[in-house]
Amino acid sequence: MTPLLTLHGVSKSFRGLRAVSNASFGVESNGLVALMGPNGAGKTTLFNLIAGVLRPDGGEIYFDGKRIDAWRPDQVCAAGIARTFQIVKPFAGLTVVDNVVVGALQRAANLKDARTRAEAVLTTLGLSAKRDLPPQTLTLAERKRLEIARALATQPKLLLLDEALAGLRPTECDELVATMRDIHKREGIAILIIEHVMRAVMALAHRVVVLHHGEVIAQGAPAEVVRDRAVIDSYLGEDATL
Amino acid sequence: MNRRGRSLLALLGLLLLVLPSVADNYVLSLATLFLFFAYTGQAWNILMGFAGQLSLGHALYLGIGAYTSAALFSHFGIGPWAGLWLAIALSSLAGVIIGFLALRFSIAGVYFALLTIAFAEFARIGFDHFTWVGGSGGLFLKVLQREQIDLLNLRGTPTVFYYVILTLAAVAFLACSWLMQGRAGYYWQAIRENEEAAQALGINVFRWKMLAVIISAAMTSLAGVFQAFYYNNLFPEQVFNIARSIEIILGPIIGGIGTLFGPIVGAAVLTLLADSATELVAALGWDLPGLKQLIYGVALFLIIVFLPHGIWPRLARTLKVPQ
């Protein structure tokens, strides 16, 4: 399978602190990859490097055959990478549907097309009933869904989900995992997900990349990675229940 | 907008259209002032209410428009209809410079506001010494017979000026409602609410902010052209004064920031308020200096305390029309 996203030795430091160090991995064009690691491992920094919010100090990032590591976030989005934020950032002054319309306008020729696209995405994410509400009235689970809906509306080839499941109840978590799998299968969108919830990662990911102190310490199939010595020592612990 | 809203809007339009045939010159001058601030408020609202960038120096664009058109007219006899293009170009350029500095050096929020004040102040001090346009002594336009209507040079009766500013205000209103219903409206609101999320959704924040600055500046400069030919005199201390910038922004703030009707409602309330304060002081016969301003200030204070989101959102609920 051809890689859609490729990172070659990507590094980023903040005042001497190596947040990401020589990280290399890829996401295939139909891949579903989970990025794991303890707090402070550099996962979100890595996301921000891919999404164009930060520029790497070293290394290269390729997407769809183009080098994107010097691009702005809006250019990265236009190229086909959409991301969600760990701390949800809805547009408070706009209704749920209008939040999604903003994303849909990225590829829509006009507002009418964008609305059509937004309605379809809301249906996929199960938010249609909430379309006219201000986002502040949504539950956390719904706001996480809105975050995904907005990103999905930009019609990406790759979706970056930053802890989309964090803080959700187990049932909400399972529902959202099912939705993600649905998006991945039905729309053929590659997904790179930052996730701590092991149960979800095991159920969802084809491949797992584990970061520790900014370095990739293991990658491979989920079942292999959880048996990896380095991963157990640095992150999961001896008696991790899956 | 629902049917109720449309009929109310049509009624307001009709009322404003026939006003000159029923009102005396004093009422007409008040109405002209109201429309002037409704228009400039609308222009400012594009930048602040829609795109979320606080400008406290809109007097700059007003002044550039006024001085450019007035100087062209008095020095070269170039009429305002030709002069306004240069006015638009120059004030847009000023907007581009301020916008570029702000975005290039990430000057945002209150610091952006300070930058806009600084530029208006530069202009005020600069024009004080700019003798080609009269310096601090002021620039005066030749006043012809007020009864003689010369539309080509924007000379004429108060009724003529009333209809000119009414047209400007109406066109600004329609333009803003068109902008708000399109891509620009969505993008500006997204930027206003969360810049980082807006950028992640593919919005070129720099470009859309710049567009808001330029449109706002260009619109405001047209009000400046109007002001020059309506009052026939310009003084840097008045035109570029920060008090002028505040006057421009009070309407939309009182009326409702980010709404289409806010600037209109706010301008109407402020004009009536200022006039009532004057009338009240005169009727009571208390000739105390500053009393008028005090009444005006207290009234503003009460509005802001009791209607922090502006008059229009509350009024819209009462009238049962969408905001």
User: What gap in Å lies between CA A193 and CA A184, rounded to an integer?
Assistant: 12
Class of domain A1-80+157-242: alpha beta
The residue in chain A having the minimum alpha-carbon distance to the alpha carbon of residue B197 is A89
User: What gap in Å lies between CA A58 and CA A50, rounded to an integer?
Assistant: 13
Contacts of B187 in chain A (CB under 8 A): 102, 105
Tell me if B322 is assigned to some domain: no
> What pLDDT, on the 0 to 100 scale, is given for residue B151?
75
> What pLDDT, on the 0 to 100 scale, is given for residue A130?
94
Beta bridge partners of A61: A7
Tell me if B288 is assigned to some domain: no
> What pLDDT, on the 0 to 100 scale, is given for residue B8?
86
| Tokens read off for A161 | 């989900």
pLDDT mean by block of 10 residues, chain B; 323 residues: 81 90 90 95 94 93 95 89 94 95 86 94 92 86 70 81 94 94 94 94 94 96 94 91 92 92 93 86 80 82 89 88 76
Tell me if B263 is assigned to some domain: no
The whole-chain average pLDDT of chain A stands at 90
Count how many domains chain B has.
Answer: 1
Domain range enclosing B63? 24-242
Q: Is the pLDDT of residue A157 over 80?
A: yes
Cα end-to-end distance, chain B, whole Å: 8
The residues, ordered by sequence, that sit 6+ positions from B240 with a Cβ below 8 Å of its Cβ are: B59, B60, B63, B120, B121, B123, B124, B127
Find residues 49-108 of chain A whose CB sits inside 8 Å of chain B.
51, 53, 72-74, 77-78, 82-83, 85, 89-94, 98, 101-103, 105-106
What residue type is A43 in one-letter code? K
The residues, ordered by sequence, that sit 6+ positions from B130 with a Cβ below 8 Å of its Cβ are: B236
Place of tokens 């979100």: A44
Tell me if B138 is assigned to some domain: yes
Place of tokens 């097309």: A113
What residue type is B32 in one-letter code? T
Shortest Cα distance from A241 to chain B (angstroms)?
36
Output b/e per residue, B285-314; b: 16+ Cβ within 10 A: eeeeeeebeebbeebbeebeeebeebbbbe
Distance of CA B216 to the CA centre of its chain: 9
Q: Is the pLDDT of residue A239 over 70?
A: no
Distances (CA, A) of B25 to A202, B20, B22, B267, B270: 80, 8, 10, 19, 19
> What pLDDT, on the 0 to 100 scale, is given for residue B298?
86
Find residues 207-236 of chain A whose CB sits inside 8 Å of chain B.
none
> What pLDDT, on the 0 to 100 scale, is given for residue A201?
85
- Asked if A94 and B192 come within 8 Å (Cβ–Cβ), the reply is no
A95 touches A88 (CB < 8 A): no
Note the helical H segments in A81-239.
96-104, 111-124, 140-153, 170-187, 198-204, 222-225, 229-231
| Tokens read off for B129 | 């010494």
Q: Greater confidence, B10 or A197?
A: B10
Note the helical H segments in chain A.
43-51, 73-79, 96-104, 111-124, 140-153, 170-187, 198-204, 222-225, 229-231
Locate the domains of chain A by residue range: 1-80+157-242, 90-155
Tell me if B69 is assigned to some domain: yes
- Asked if A77 and B200 come within 8 Å (Cβ–Cβ), the reply is yes
Q: Which of B201, B208, B309 to probe by mutation at the A interface, max A CB count within 10 Å? A: B201
> What pLDDT, on the 0 to 100 scale, is given for residue A27?
94
Tell me if B250 is assigned to some domain: no
Cβ-Cβ pairs closer than 8 A, A with B, add up to 75
The average pLDDT across A43-53 equals 94
Instruction: Please name which of A239, A240, A232, A242 lies closest in space to residue A212, comparing C-alpha atoms.
Output: A232
- Asked if A90 and B194 come within 8 Å (Cβ–Cβ), the reply is yes
Tell me if B54 is assigned to some domain: yes
Place of tokens 């691009």: A71
Other Cβ atoms closer than 10 A to B150: 12
Tell me if B178 is assigned to some domain: yes
